């Protein structure tokens, strides 16, 4: 069933005219027709279903609307702290992390980050990343968009007390500990991933002083985008909804 993101509020019944960009996608890209069932979600956890009753020009109408109460969110609250990498890799990480059930994504500016974003570019990239997450939610069935925070410097972020009670892990090649040897989290989980060149010694020391436990994922050195997705998959397998 085609799924479309529509900003809240969603209708609780009756009929509903799709927003212009969503209508264009439904009619011109997917070429849906009258009678096709569709699902709408607002990114805040709400969804509804209906049937297309009008498809013409710029107007697409959904009717016979009823609430959809299917819950597809993981019980595990995960924050992926991802060092900024190339645009293509960052899009890939956000798309796949969304599919894997990540709750929050925090882009970090590190010393070895390939990408450098000015304030204006950061705003544009955040809008783009949101669209990437929306498309991933449309595909995977999630009704709740992950929160994508504004990029910040890693050293400043490590000093924030907001996640003091969270279980914190930093992926480092050669680390002695593994996720399998950790206790189940009592609160949120933070997973810290370095850029293409990894973390500097100063960043690693700062992370450990901020309560991050170094862990490894096997004996191989993973690319930044691989490490993020492998780490999230391992967390969901151990303590999320993959078990």
Q: Give, for all 243 residues of the chain, the pLDDT tens digit.
A: 899 999 999 998 999 999 999 999 999 999 999 999 999 999 999 999 999 999 987 899 999 999 998 899 999 999 999 999 999 999 999 999 999 999 999 999 999 887 777 878 889 999 999 999 999 999 999 999 999 999 999 999 999 888 888 999 999 988 999 999 899 998 899 999 999 899 999 999 999 999 999 999 999 999 999 999 999 999 999 999 997
Q: How high is the pLDDT of residue 84?
A: 95
Burial 88-111 (b: 16+ CB within 10 A, else e): ebbbbbbbbbbbbbbbbbbbbbbb
242 touches 230 (CB < 8 A): no
181 touches 212 (CB < 8 A): no
Q: Indicate the pTM of the whole model.
A: 0.94
- What are the strands, taking DSSP E only, across the chain? 3-5, 16-17, 37-41, 47-56, 59-67, 78-83, 104-109, 147-148, 152-153, 167-171, 189-193, 213-215
Domain 3-67, CATH among 3.40.50.2300, 3.40.50.1000, 2.60.40.10, 2.40.240.20 = 2.40.240.20
Q: Which residue has the tokens 């085609």?
A: 2
Per-domain boundaries in the chain: 3-67, 78-239
Q: How high is the pLDDT of residue 145?
A: 98
Q: How high is the pLDDT of residue 163?
A: 83
First to last CA, the chain: 27
In CATH, what number does 78-239 get? 3.40.1280.10
CA neighbor of 15 nearest in space, from 57, 55, 53: 53
Phi, psi of 231 (to 5 degrees): -65, -45
- Using DSSP's 3-state secondary structure scheme, residue 52 falls into strand
Q: Which residue has the tokens 């397998």?
A: 237
Give dist(CA 75, CA 98) in Å, integer.
14
Sign of CA dihedral 190, 191, 195, 198: positive
Q: How high is the pLDDT of residue 88?
A: 93
Q: How high is the pLDDT of residue 165?
A: 85
């Amino acid at each position: 069933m085609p799924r479309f993101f529509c900003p809240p509020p969603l209708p609780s019944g009756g009929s509903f005219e799709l927003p212009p960009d969503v209508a264009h996608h439904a009619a011109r890209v997917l070429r849906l027709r009258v009678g096709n069932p569709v699902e709408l979600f607002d990114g805040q956890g709400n969804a509804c279903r209906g049937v297309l009753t009008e498809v013409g020009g710029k107007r697409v109408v959904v009717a016979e609307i009823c609430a959809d109460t299917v819950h597809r969110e993981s019980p595990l609250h995960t924050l992926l702290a991802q060092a900024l990498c190339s645009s293509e890799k960052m899009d890939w990480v956000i798309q796949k992390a969304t599919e894997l059930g990540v709750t929050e994504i925090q882009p970090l500016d590190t010393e070895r980050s390939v990408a450098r974003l000015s304030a204006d570019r950061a705003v544009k990239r955040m809008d783009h990343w949101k669209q990437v997450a929306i498309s991933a939610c449309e595909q995977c069935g999630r009704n709740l968009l992950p929160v994508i925070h504004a990029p910040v410097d890693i050293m400043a972020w490590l000093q924030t007390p907001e996640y003091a009670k969270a279980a914190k892990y930093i992926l480092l090649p050669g680390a002695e500990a593994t996720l399998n040897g950790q206790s189940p989290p009592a609160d949120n989980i933070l997973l810290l991933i370095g850029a293409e060149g990894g973390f500097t010694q100063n960043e690693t020391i700062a992370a450990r002083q901020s309560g991050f436990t170094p862990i490894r994922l096997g004996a191989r050195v993973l690319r930044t985008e691989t490490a993020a997705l492998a780490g999230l998959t391992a967390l969901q397998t151990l303590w999320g909804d993959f078990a």
